[in-house]
């Protein structure tokens, strides 16, 4: 047993007392926040925090769109007393190849709500069920799928086990509902809807100015992440193997499948790569590196070095039409002005804070590589799945919502290749 001398004990006590007497620096949080959310998107997009070109997404989903696109969302919020119009100008580096600046604008004000009708409309209760799977592997884990009945959920009987995973810590960007002054991009200004050039770069000096907030000047060395290339292979067991490239700067991966069944109308199938039961948990949103590391330890995110995951055969059998989406979480840059004073007796009065967050995403019809164009061993191009068999009757028929029906109709208009190998 280790014994300390009286002198050593006295020194430890003195050090502890000094630590308790050390002044705690007062921190006054910044009233103005500016966020840049940059995503690299391959294939079909369901990504949050960006405004994708849905036409380009659909063309890529059908194999005609080529490579990845770059997405960007800018959100500025200030709690300072408004002194002018809630607009701003973001002077961008020449490498973005989008002109000299981007215009930040507040969303248009909605018209006053009409008097509320308290009478409840009549409707048929939803029929169907949710089949919940999780975990990579050729076979589903014992006890899967977990079933949830839509009719009971519509009556307020939300199963206690539907959201069992630990809460994912997601930071919310500035918004018009939380800040008296808000400006965003893209917006209703036509130039903001033209898309981002494929060679655009965020690296360089940025300056944001406006009448309602202080000038924000910062530099970025981090650029859009490299694109994800997602490859799919049907295994003899019926499972679907997913392989992807390593992306520099990755902090974790998350894959999910969302689909339905034509034979069992009203059946929705959800699967995720998490080793913990999860459903619409926020794991596909932007996640900070420290939080990603925690979620990798908990096996809710795949480790950054992982490059493969298999969707179990039971999932593929239940989901006749499905979308596979994947996100590789990436770096985050945080800048606060002015810097923290070294003297703890000097309060740190922050003026503004910048957060730049990055992710790389991919989306595809289950069983189809993104982008397509691969040929079979016979040399003929691989057939595209028919809408009635793969999507319209699956996702569109099973998911009660405009997204499912719209996707089914849009893909249904695509003509299948005639000279191809199934």
Per-residue pLDDT tens for 348-398? Answer: 999 999 999 999 999 999 987 655 333 333 333 343 433 333 333 334 444
pLDDT reported for residue 409:
33
Q: pLDDT band for 191, please (50, 70, 90 cuts).
A: confident
Q: Each residue of 23-58: pLDDT tens digit?
A: 899 999 999 999 999 999 998 765 544 444 444 444
User: Would you give the end-to-end CA distance of the chain in angstroms?
Assistant: 74
Determine the Cα angle at 369 with ends 368 and 373, to 5°: 105
Q: What percent of the chain has pLDDT over 70?
A: 68
For 62, how many CA atoms within 13 A lie in the half-sphere containing its CB?
19
pLDDT reported for residue 120:
52
Q: pLDDT band for 422, please (50, 70, 90 cuts).
A: very low
pLDDT reported for residue 315:
96
Tell me how far apart the alpha carbons of residues 272 and 255 are, in angstroms, rounded to a whole number: 6
Q: Each residue of 109-126: pLDDT tens digit?
A: 777 666 655 555 555 656
Backbone angles phi, psi at 77, to 5 degrees: -135, 140
pLDDT, mean of residues 223-248: 96
Of 2 and 405, which is predicted with more confidence?
A: 2
| 351 CB neighbour count, 10 Å cutoff | 16
Q: pLDDT band for 195, please (50, 70, 90 cuts).
A: confident
pTM of the model: 0.78
Give the 3-state secondary structure of the chain.
CCCCCHHHHHHHHHHHHHHHHCCCCCEECCCEEEEEEEEEEEECCCCCCCCCCHHHHHHHHCCCCCCCEEEEEEEEEECCCCCCCCCEEEECCHHHCCCCEEEEECCCCCCCCCCCCCCCCCCCCCCCEEEEEECCCCCCCCCCCEEEEHHHHHCCCCCCCCCCCCCCCCCCCCCCCCCCEEEEECCCCHHHHCCCCCCCCCCEEEEEECCCCCCEEEEECCCCCCCCCEEEEECCCCCEEEEECCCCCCCEEEEEEEEECCCCCCEEEEEECCCCCCCCCCCCCCCCHHHHHHHHHCCCCECCCCCEEEECHHHHHHCCEEEEEEEEEEEEEEEEECCCCCCCCCCEECCEEEEEEEEEEEEEECCCCECCCCECCCCCEECCCCHHHHHHHHHHHHCCCHHHHHHHHHHHCCCCCCCCEC
Q: Each residue of 86-113: pLDDT tens digit?
A: 689 999 999 999 999 999 999 887 776 6
The region of weakest confidence among 192-201, 218-227, 280-289, 365-374 is 365-374
Contact assessment for residue 368 and residue 384, using Cβ atoms and an 8 Å cutoff: yes
Of 120 and 290, which is predicted with more confidence?
A: 290
Is pLDDT of 405 > 60? no
Residue 361 burial by CB count (10 A; 0-12/13-18/19+): exposed, middle or buried?
Answer: buried
pLDDT reported for residue 257:
96
Is pLDDT of 286 > 50? yes
- Contacts of residue 415, defined as CB under 8 A and 6 or more positions apart, other chains included, come to none
pLDDT reported for residue 262:
66
Contact assessment for residue 322 and residue 257, using Cβ atoms and an 8 Å cutoff: yes
In the chain, where are the structural domains located?
Answer: 28-107+125-371+380-412
Q: pLDDT band for 148, please (50, 70, 90 cuts).
A: confident
pLDDT reported for residue 212:
87
Task: Answer whether the bond into residue 351 is a cis peptide, omega within 30°.
Answer: no
Structure tokens at 112: 């006053």
pLDDT reported for residue 278:
87
Mean pLDDT of the chain: 79
Tell me how far apart the alpha carbons of residues 12 and 192 are, in angstroms, rounded to a whole number: 61
């Amino acid at each position: 047993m280790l014994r300390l001398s009286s002198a050593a004990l006295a020194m430890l006590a003195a050090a502890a007392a000094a630590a308790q007497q050390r002044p705690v620096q007062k921190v006054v949080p910044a009233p103005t926040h500016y966020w840049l959310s940059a995503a690299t998107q391959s294939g079909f997009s369901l990504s949050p925090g960006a405004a994708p070109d849905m036409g380009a997404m659909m063309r890529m989903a059908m194999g005609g769109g080529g490579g990845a696109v770059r997405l960007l969302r800018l959100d500025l919020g200030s709690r300072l007393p408004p002194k002018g119009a809630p607009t701003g100008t973001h002077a961008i580096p020449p490498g973005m190849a989008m002109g000299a600046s981007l215009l930040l604008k507040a969303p248009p004000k909605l018209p006053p709500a009409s008097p509320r009708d308290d009478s409840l409309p009549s409707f048929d209760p939803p029929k169907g069920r949710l089949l919940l799977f999780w975990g990579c592997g050729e076979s589903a884990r014992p006890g899967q799928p977990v079933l949830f009945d839509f009719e009971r959920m519509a009556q307020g009987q939300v199963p206690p086990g539907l959201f069992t995973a630990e809460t994912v810590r997601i930071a919310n960007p500035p918004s018009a509902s939380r800040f008296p002054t808000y400006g965003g991009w893209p917006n209703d200004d036509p130039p903001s809807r033209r898309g981002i050039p494929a060679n655009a770069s965020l690296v360089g000096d940025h300056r944001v100015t406006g009448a309602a907030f202080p000038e924000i000047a910062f530099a970025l060395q981090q650029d859009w992440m490299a694109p994800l290339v997602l490859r799919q292979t049907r295994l003899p067991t019926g499972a679907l193997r997913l392989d992807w490239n390593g992306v520099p700067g990755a902090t974790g991966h998350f894959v999910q499948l969302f689909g339905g069944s034509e034979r069992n109308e009203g059946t929705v199938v959800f699967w995720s790569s998490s080793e913990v039961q999860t459903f619409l948990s926020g794991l596909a949103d932007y996640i900070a590196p420290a939080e990603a590391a925690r979620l990798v330890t908990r096996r809710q995110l795949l480790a950054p070095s992982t490059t493969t995951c298999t969707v179990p055969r039971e999932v593929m059998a239940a989901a006749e039409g499905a979308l596979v989406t994947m996100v590789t979480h990436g770096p985050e840059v945080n800048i606060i002005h002015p810097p923290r004073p070294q003297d703890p007796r000097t309060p740190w009065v922050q003026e503004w804070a910048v957060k730049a967050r990055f992710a790389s995403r991919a989306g595809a019809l289950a069983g189809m590589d993104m982008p397509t164009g691969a040929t079979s061993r016979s040399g003929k191009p691989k057939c595209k799945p028919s809408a009635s068999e793969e999507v319209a009757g699956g996702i569109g028929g099973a998911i009660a919502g405009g997204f499912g029906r719209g996707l089914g109709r849009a893909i249904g208009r695509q003509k299948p290749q005639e000279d191809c190998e199934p």
